[in-house]
Amino acid sequence: MSLLNPKPPALNDPVLVNEWMAVAKAADISKPTRVSVLGEDLVIWRSNTGVHAFRDLCIHRGTALSLGKVSNNQLVCPYHGWHFDGEGQCTFIPAQPDLPIPTKAKAFSYPCEEKYGLIWVSLGQPSKGVPEFAEADDSKFHTIICGPYMVNAEAPRVIENFLDVSHLMWVHEGFLGVPEHSSIPDYHVHETSGKLITDTITVFQPDPDGRGKDVNNDYIYQVLRPLTVQFTKTDDQGSDVFAIMLHTTPLAHRKTMAYAVLTRNYGFDMDDNLFRDFQDKIFSQDETILLSQRPEELPLDLAAELHIKSDRLAIAYRKWLRELGVEIGVA
Ligand code: FES
Ligand SMILES: [Fe+2]
């Protein structure tokens, strides 16, 4: 392999390569940091113009740039001190300061943005911006990050689990539902503006968010992108609104990193860790199920598993992945 030529990522997918993937919490990027996405190692670093993502490889001798440092808003390679600016252009070669810089002296740079407390990267050419999470953009809401959750399962399985309303009473019994209230009201899934969105689905929840306050919650689920989804739930008074955007990043075959962006319009004086701890517990309950599912890849052939009416969202999600042509994590 030549260092001079970019190569497709180890987990190559014609759709996901052009999607935005969350790779780190923004608060964790105080120095050059190695992250992984679709089997590729990247370095994320900050300058005064924002965050940057490069292949974690110096063009000179293949050293990991993440071992370097930032100096004067340039990323400095740890081996021979070549300097790279935010676009990846080499600006200084200490061993020959008076000679022109070779035109091929560049770091391989990827689109990179900071939003909702996360660092987002695309390995290709994204046709849209970072997924939009409307509630978190609303100043009446308070937003926190949960995760990353590392799970040895395929990303589409993790997403479908999040979209599955009829497991709440069983996997999260006593928290997000109770078996006596398992019946799912009829609902439909609509495709609008390139997203999937459900009708309202009401679920009785003994402890919907960690506060221990039982309520009938009205859920609306949305599929924003192949690996980015959200639900918004509103209590029966119509006052407390709680929403989660779940994003999953495939790291390797059957290895996924998930972030949950939580936002709420109440309890601003409450300890955020109460909500984080609760979400950690919920995710660990889901993980037990995810690790047990076979096949590991989400079957897109609807004849491969048995579906019922309450699975309408999962059916729509599988059809949509198939139409889009997603290949990673699906069968
Ligand atoms: S390997 Fe990076 S400057 Fe030499
Ligand atoms: Fe769950």
Summarised one tens digit per residue, pLDDT across range 25-82 is 999 999 999 999 999 999 999 999 999 999 999 999 999 999 999 999 999 999 999 9
Residues 320 and 172 in one domain: yes
Q: Report the nearest atom of ligand 1 relative to the CA of 62.
A: 1
Measured in Å, residue 57 CA sits from the centre of ligand 2 at 38
By percentage, how much of the chain surpasses pLDDT 70? 98
Measured in Å, residue 35 CA sits from the centre of ligand 2 at 27
Give per-residue pLDDT as tens, 218-236. Answer: 999 999 999 999 999 999 9
Query: Rounded mean pLDDT of the chain?
Result: 97
Give per-residue pLDDT as tens, 86-109. Answer: 999 999 999 999 999 999 999 999
Q: Is residue 11, in this structure, part of any structural domain at all?
A: no
* CATH code of residue 41: 2.102.10.10
Measured in Å, residue 27 CA sits from the centre of ligand 1 at 28
How far does Cα 184 stand from its chain's mean position? 28
DSSP class of residue 18? G
φ/ψ of 138, rounded to 5, equals: -95, 130
Give yes or no for residue 5 having a pLDDT over 90.
no
- Domain span holding position 191: 135-324
Q: Which ligand is nearest to the CA of 67?
A: 1
Residues 284 and 162 in one domain: yes
Measured in Å, residue 125 CA sits from the centre of ligand 1 at 28
Residues 112 and 54 in one domain: yes
Q: Which of 4, 63, 71, 91, when mutated, tests ligand 1's pocket best, judged by the most ligand atoms within 8 Å of its CB? A: 63
Q: Kindly state the tokens that stand for 45.
A: 């670093």
* CATH code of residue 165: 3.90.380.10
Mean pLDDT over residues 322-327, rounded?
Answer: 98
Residues 300 and 202 in one domain: yes
Residues 140 and 188 in one domain: yes
Give yes or no for residue 240 having a pLDDT over 80.
yes
Q: Which residues neighbour 30 within 8 Å (Cβ) at sequence distance 6 or greater?
A: 46
The HSE-up count of residue 128 (CA atoms within 13 Å, CB side) is 14
Q: Which residues neighbour 167 within 8 Å (Cβ) at sequence distance 6 or greater?
A: 161, 289
Give how many domains the chain has, as a whole number: 2
- Residue with token string 């770091």: 107
Residues with CB under 6 A from ligand 1: 58, 60-61, 63, 77, 79-80, 82
How would residue 8 be classed by pLDDT, with cut points 50, 70 and 90? confident
How would residue 7 be classed by pLDDT, with cut points 50, 70 and 90? confident
Q: Report the nearest atom of ligand 1 relative to the CA of 93.
A: 3
Sign, CA dihedral 260-261-265-271, equals positive
pTM > 0.95: yes or no: yes
What is the crossing angle of helices 155-163 and 312-324, to 10°?
150
Q: Report the nearest atom of ligand 1 relative to the CA of 68.
A: 2
CA dist 195 → 34, 139, 155, 217, 226 (Å): 32, 24, 18, 22, 10
Q: Which ligand is nearest to the CA of 80?
A: 1
241, 232 contact by CB (below 8 A):
yes
Give per-residue pLDDT as tens, 154-209. Answer: 999 999 999 999 999 999 999 999 999 999 999 999 999 999 999 999 999 999 99
